[in-house]
Structure 1
Amino acid sequence: MILLITFAFLAGIVTVLSPCILPILPIILTSSVGGVSAGKSRPIGVVIGFVLSFTFFTLFLSSIVRLSGISAETLRTVSVIVIAGFGLSLLIPQFQVLAERLFSKLSGIIPASQGRTGFGGGLLIGLSVGLLWTPCVGPILASVISLAITGTVTFDAFLITLAYSFGTSIPMFLIMHGGQNALRRIPWLLSNLGRIQKLFGILMIMTAIGIFFNVDRRFQTYILNTFPQYGAGLTKLEDNELVRNILDKKSGNEVESDDAAKFELDPKALKYAKAPEIIPGGFWFNSEPLTLQELRGKVVIIDFWTYSCINCQRTLPYLRDWYEKYKDKGLVIVGVHSPEFEFEKSEKNVAQAIKDFELTYPIVQDNDFATWKAYRNRYWPAKYFIDKEGYIRYTHFGEGAYDESEKVIQELLKEAGANDVSLDINNPAYQLQARTPELYLGYGRIEHLASPEQIKKDKLGTYSAPANLGYNKFAYSGDWNVTQEYANPQKGATLTLYFEAKEVFLVMRSKGAAAKVKVYLDNKLQFFGEDNMEGIVIVDKDTLYKLINLPSAGKHILRLEFEDSNVELFAFTFG
C-alpha cells in the first residue's frame, strides 16, 4: 500500500509536464499575481482547495450526480463562474471591492486579512480547479476512478487519490510562489503591477470562457494529435509490473503461484503484461467457448464493444476485414460484448446485431462485466492485441489508428511463424467530423441539458426549451419521464438539439408497439434514407438509429417530435 501511495505521489508531481496540465496553467499563473501583498497565503489556499476538491470529486462525483440529480456539467459551470469572477476582480477595481466585501462577511471562517488576495480567494480558486481539471491518468489513478464509478470507495483509494493530488499541488505551489517572488524582486514588474494584474485578469476570464465552451478539451486533443509523443512516457513511472501486480492483488486478480514462477523466469514479463483470461459464463456466438490458454500459439485480438455504440460500429468493418484477411494465418478475434444499456444484455438482440453487422468471428457476452473488469478496461471500443505467448503487445482505445493496428497484426503473425503474411494495408481513410460529444438522456449521466426545470427522477415532469439554445446543448419540451438510464417522451413532446456533426445517431427502444419520431433539421422535415424515411423514424427494435446524414459536417438545430409515448431515448452519438 505504501508503495502505491508513493508512486501515486510521484505520478502527481510529474503531471505538471503532461499535456493535461496546459488548460489550467493560465489559472495557476494568474493566481500568483493577485496575491503579491498576501505573501504565501494565496498559493497555500489554492493548493489546499485543489487537494480537497480533486480528492473529493474524484471519489464521489459519480455518487453526487446519481443521488442529487445535480449534473456534473452544472458543477463545472459553477466552477467556471468562480474562475471568471476572480478574473473580473483583477480587471475591474469595483468588482474587486465587491469581492473583498464578500470575504469580509466570511470573517468567522476566514480572517479578514486573508481576503480576495489571500488564503480565502486562493481556496475558492483551488476548489474550482480541482473540479475542472481532468488529469492524464495512469493505472493507479485509473483503478481508483473505476472504483468510484461503481460506488466502491475504500480508505486505500482515498489515500492514493490524496497522495496523487498532493503530488500535483507541489509544482502548482512552486509556480505560484515563483511568480510572486518575480513580481516582488523585479522592479519593472512591480512598477507595472496594475497593468499586469489586468492582463492576467483578461487571461483568467478567457480561460474560464474557453473551459465553458470545452475549448480546453479541444486544445488538449489538438496538442496530442500534433505532438503524439508529448507526455507519452510520463505514466510509465507507475505503469510497471510491480505496480500492476499490487493492483491485481487488490482487485482479486492475483497471479497463481505456478504462473508467478514462470513470470519471474520470463524476461518478456518485464516489458509486457500477461493477458487476463476470458472469464467463463457468458453465451458464445459463432464459436464454442474459448480460452486464451487454448489459443496459445495464435495471435488474438480481444475487442470490447457494445452493439448500440456508434464508435464501436465504425470499427467493425475493419475488424471484419482483418479477420477474413488473416484468420488462415493464425489470427483470432474475440469480441467481448459488454453492454452499456440494459437492453443490450438480451441474447436475442446481440444475435440480431451480429447478423446485421455480418460478424463471423467468435463473440462472447460479458453481461456482468467480468472480463471487462479482469482487463481493467474503461472504454468502448477497446482492443487488446495478444501475441502467441499470451502477452498484451499493443492496445488501442476508441476509433482510428487502423493502419498502425494492422501493422501490429502482421508483426505478431510473423513472430508466431506465419508464412506469406501480406504486407499490404488498404484500410479506408478514417475521419471523424463531429464536434458534439456523446449525450446521455437519462439522469444518471446527463450533461448539456438546457431545460431550466429541475429533473423529476423516475416520474412525469413538464419541461421547456430556452429561446436560444446553446452550442452542444439539448432541451426537453412537454411531458417527459426521465429515468436513470433513459428518457421517455409523452405524446406531443419534443426534443431540441444544437449540434455540429455530419451524422446524428440516437439509441432508442420501443415500449411495445412501434413508435414514430418526426425528424426536423433547421425547422424542415428531413428525409435521409436508411432509418429516416420521409422524415419519420419507426422505432420497432432496441438499437441505434441514424437520424441525420449530411454531405459534410456543420452546425444545425435538430428537433424531434413524438407522436406517441412508446419510445425510450438513451443516448445521442455523432459522426
Structure 2
Amino acid sequence: MLLIVLAYLGGVLTIVSPCILPVLPFVFSRAGQPFMRNGLPLLAGMALTFAAVASLAAVGGGWVVAANQYGRWLALALVAVFALTLLLPHLSERLTRPLVAAGSRLSESVATDGTPRMGSSVVQGIATGLLWAPCAGPILGLILTGAALQGANATSTLLLLAYALGAATSMAAALLLGGKVFAALKRSLGAGEWLRRGLGAAMLAGVAAIALGLGTGVLARFSITSTGGIEQKLIERLNKPLDGEANLARSIQEPATPPAEGPAMLAVGDAIRVAGPSGEASALPDEGIAPSLDGATQWLQSPPLTNQSLRGKVVLIDFWTYSCINCLRTLPYIKAWAEKYRDQGLVVVGVHAPEFAFERDINNVTRAMKDLGISYPVAVDNQYAIWRAFKNQYWPAHYFIDATGHIRHHHFGEGDYAESERVIQQLLKEAGSSQTATGLTEVDAQGVQLAASMNEVRSPETYLGYERAENFASTPKAVHDRSAAYVGPERPELNTWGLVGQWVVGPESATLSAPSGRIVYRFQARDLHLVLSPGPKGKPVRFKVSIDGKPPGDAHGMDAAADGSGTVTAQRLYQLVRQPGDIAEHTFSIEFLDAGVSAYAFTFG
C-alpha cells in the first residue's frame, strides 16, 4: 500500500514538471465544457493508456518501442486534427459527416456545433496518453525498473496506474479551475469563439513541441522547476523508518532500501538469529517450500538442476549479477562455503539475474565467472523467472534450503557471514551429516572483493542513465537519447556529478559520441567504482583518472595506474580509486580519449 501511495504522489507532482507542458493544451482544450462528459473521459483515457503502454514498455522488447514510436506519430496526427477542428469550424463539419455515416461514434471528432462529445474526449485522452512522456524522476524510475524485473503482473500495472491517476488528479484540479476561468472570460468578453481558436492554436503548438522533442529537451533545460529533488525527499521520508539498517542489499528499486511492505521480502532487521553469543544453535523457522529453478534460460557448469534432484542436499541460492559491487564483495564467502562444505552435502547455486542489458550476454557472464573463480553451478535467469518465483527484490540475496526442500533462512545484502555459515552448519546437521565443520570461515579478499569501509562512505550508488539518474549538475540538463554538448560543474557539491563533452544520455547509460569527454563526481569514500562498456564491437577505450585535478598516485584503483591511465576493454565494473589513510571529500574526474565508451553507474566502498 505504501508503494501505491508513493506512486500516486509522484504522479501528482508531474503537473509542475517541464515535460508535461506540451500536453497541457490538450487537456485545457476541454476547459470550457462540462467536466463529467468531457474532462473526466479525457483524463481517464489518458491515464489508462499511459499505464498500459508503460507496462508493455517495461517488460517488452524492441517491438514495443517501435510500436510505441509509430503510435506516438499517429497520436500526434490525431491531436493535430482535433486542434484544427477547434481552429476551423468548417473543417470540423466536413470531418464529422463521414465519421457519422460510418457509424463510428467513438471516433467522432466534434459535433457540428463545434462542441466536443464524450467519445471524442476518450479518443483525445488515448492520444494524449500515447504522447505523455513525463520526466523519469526517482519515483517513476523506481516503478519502471521494478516492472522490468518483476515482469508483467498486476502489481507493476497497479503502480503505473496509480502514478497516472496521480497526474490525472492534479490535471483535473487544473482543468476545473481552467473551466471557471474560461466561463468567466466568455461572459465578460463575449469571446468564446476566439478562446476556442486560441486553445486550438495552443494544441498545435503542443504537437510541434512534442514532435521536436522540446518536452524533454529545451523546456527542461530552461525550467526552474524540478520534481526530482521533491520526489527523492518523498521517497526518503516514506522510507525513514528503515534508515540505519547496516549493509542493505542493492535493490531493484531506488533508493536501495527495502520497501516497508510487500509480498516479496522480509526487512533486513527481521532476519532470524540462529546463534547466540556463545554460538549455540536455535531453531530455524520454516519459510515454505522453495520455488522451482525451472525458469533458467541456460545453466553454466552444470546440467539443469531441479528441486527433485537437489532433494537430500542443503542448498544455498545466491542471486547475483556480475557488475554488482555488493555481490562481488560477498563472493569470497560464497566460494569458500561451496568448497568447504561440498563433501558434507552443501550445493551452492548462483542465479545470475542481470541488471544491465550487457549482463544478458552469456559470453560476458562466462568470462566474469572465470575471472572471479566461480566453479559452482550458475543458472542464467535472463527472463527473471526464478527471481519472480522467489519473489526476490535484491542483489545479492541468499536463500538457505534444507534437505527436504524448505527455505529455512534468508539474508539480503552484505555482512552477517558468521550467522549465514552457522545456518549452513545447522542445516547440514539436520540432514544427517556426521562430520560437519564447526569453525567459521575467514577470507582474504582482495581488489573489488575487499569488504567496504562503510563508516567512511557518504556517497550513494549513482546511475548515469536518465531512467534512474539523480544529482546531475551539467549544463544543459540531460537531453534524452540525442547527442548533446555538456559543460561540467566548475565546483560540484558532494554527490553531484556531470558530463563534459559530446554525450548521448540513454535510459541505462551515457555514451560518449566524440573523443575527449569527461565525467566528474564529488564523492567521499575509500573506493570508487564505475561500470563501463568499451566502444562498438568491443573497441578498447583509453582513459585518464584524476583526483582533485592530479594523478591518483597511491590512491589509484586496481583498474587504473598511478598516473591515472587505463583502458576499458570489457563490459564490467572498474575499480578506479582506492584511497589509503584518512578519507575526505574529493573531486573525481575520468577523461576518455576515445569515443564510444558507455558509463552506467558509480558505486562506492
TM range (shorter): 0.5 to 0.7
Summarize the Cα distance change of 1:220–1:281 in structure 2 as closer, same or farther, 3 Å threshold: closer
Of 342-351 and 426-435, more deviation after overlay is shown by 426-435
Q: Quote how far apart the aligned CAs of 1:54 are.
A: 2.8
What is residue 394 of structure 1 aligned with on the other side?
409
Summarize the Cα distance change of 1:444–1:423 in structure 2 as closer, same or farther, 3 Å threshold: same
What is residue 507 of structure 2 aligned with on the other side?
484
Count of residue pairs brought into register by the alignment: 381
2:559 is the counterpart of 1:531:
yes
Counterpart selection for 2:521 from 497, 503, 509:
497
Distance 1:291 1:155 in 2: 28
Counterpart selection for 2:355 from 335, 340, 343:
340
Summarize the Cα distance change of 1:440–1:269 in structure 2 as closer, same or farther, 3 Å threshold: same
What is residue 544 of structure 1 aligned with on the other side?
573
Summarize the Cα distance change of 1:357–1:536 in structure 2 as closer, same or farther, 3 Å threshold: same
What is residue 356 of structure 1 aligned with on the other side?
371
Distance 2:406 2:343 in 1: 21
What is residue 432 of structure 1 aligned with on the other side?
453
CA shift digits 1:501-530 (9 cap, x unpaired)? 111111111113210111001110224262
Q: Quote how far apart the aligned CAs of 1:468 are.
A: 2.6
Distance 1:340 1:144 in 2: 13
Summarize the Cα distance change of 1:445–1:529 in structure 2 as closer, same or farther, 3 Å threshold: closer
CA shift digits 1:452-495 (9 cap, x unpaired)? 42322111111222333121110112211111111112312211
Distance 1:445 1:293 in 2: 40
Tell me the SS of whatever aligns to 1:498: strand
Kindly provide the amino acid, as one letter, of the partner of residue 577 in structure 2: I
**TM-score w.r.t. structure 2 length?**
0.55
Kindly provide the amino acid, as one letter, of the partner of residue 286 in structure 1: Q
The correspondence of residues 188-267 of structure 1 with structure 2, limited to 5 A, is: 223-224=244-245
Gap regions ≥5 residues in structure 2: 22-136, 163-228, 248-257, 267-282, 444-449
Tell me the SS of whatever aligns to 1:551: coil
2:477 is the counterpart of 1:454:
yes
2:400 is the counterpart of 1:385:
yes
The correspondence of residues 550-569 of structure 1 with structure 2, limited to 5 A, is: 550-552=579-581, 553-569=583-599
Distance 1:557 1:382 in 2: 33
What is residue 423 of structure 2 aligned with on the other side?
408
Counterpart selection for 2:313 from 291, 298, 301:
298
Distance 1:566 1:298 in 2: 47
Q: Quote how far apart the aligned CAs of 1:417 are.
A: 0.6
Distance 2:264 2:328 in 1: 33
Q: Tell me if the contact between 2:539 and 2:569 (Cα under 8 Å) persists in the aligned partners.
A: yes
Tell me the SS of whatever aligns to 2:590: strand
Q: Quote how far apart the aligned CAs of 1:566 are.
A: 2.7
Summarize the Cα distance change of 1:504–1:238 in structure 2 as closer, same or farther, 3 Å threshold: closer
Tell me the SS of whatever aligns to 2:318: strand
Q: Quote how far apart the aligned CAs of 1:225 are.
A: 5.1
Distance 1:546 1:225 in 2: 23
The correspondence of residues 130-149 of structure 1 with structure 2, limited to 5 A, is: 146-147=146-147
Distance 1:359 1:269 in 2: 29
Summarize the Cα distance change of 1:52–1:396 in structure 2 as closer, same or farther, 3 Å threshold: closer
Distance 2:296 2:234 in 1: 44
Q: Tell me if the contact between 1:283 and 1:364 (Cα under 8 Å) persists in the aligned partners.
A: yes
CA shift digits 1:123-158 (9 cap, x unpaired)? xxxxxxxx999xxxxxxxx99994487685759974
Q: Quote how far apart the aligned CAs of 1:427 are.
A: 3.3
Summarize the Cα distance change of 1:559–1:221 in structure 2 as closer, same or farther, 3 Å threshold: farther
Asked which structure has the greater CA Rg, the reply is 2
Counterpart selection for 2:548 from 511, 522, 529:
522
Gap regions ≥5 residues in structure 1: 1-7, 13-50, 70-130, 134-141, 163-207, 227-231, 241-267
Of 476-485 and 552-561, more deviation after overlay is shown by 552-561
What is residue 574 of structure 1 aligned with on the other side?
604
CA shift digits 1:370-425 (9 cap, x unpaired)? 11111111111111111111111111111111111111111111111111211111
2:406 is the counterpart of 1:375:
no
CA shift digits 1:142-190 (9 cap, x unpaired)? 999944876857599749998xxxxxxxxxxxxxxxxxxxxxxxxxxxx
Identity %: 37
The correspondence of residues 93-112 of structure 1 with structure 2, limited to 5 A, is: none
What is residue 56 of structure 1 aligned with on the other side?
8
What is residue 181 of structure 2 aligned with on the other side?
none
Q: Tell me if the contact between 1:59 and 1:148 (Cα under 8 Å) persists in the aligned partners.
A: no
Distance 1:60 1:499 in 2: 32
Summarize the Cα distance change of 1:58–1:239 in structure 2 as closer, same or farther, 3 Å threshold: farther
CA shift digits 1:338-389 (9 cap, x unpaired)? 1111111111111111111111111121111111111111111111111111
Kindly provide the amino acid, as one letter, of the partner of residue 364 in structure 1: A
**TM-score w.r.t. structure 1 length?**
0.58
Distance 2:502 2:379 in 1: 39
What is residue 489 of structure 2 aligned with on the other side?
466
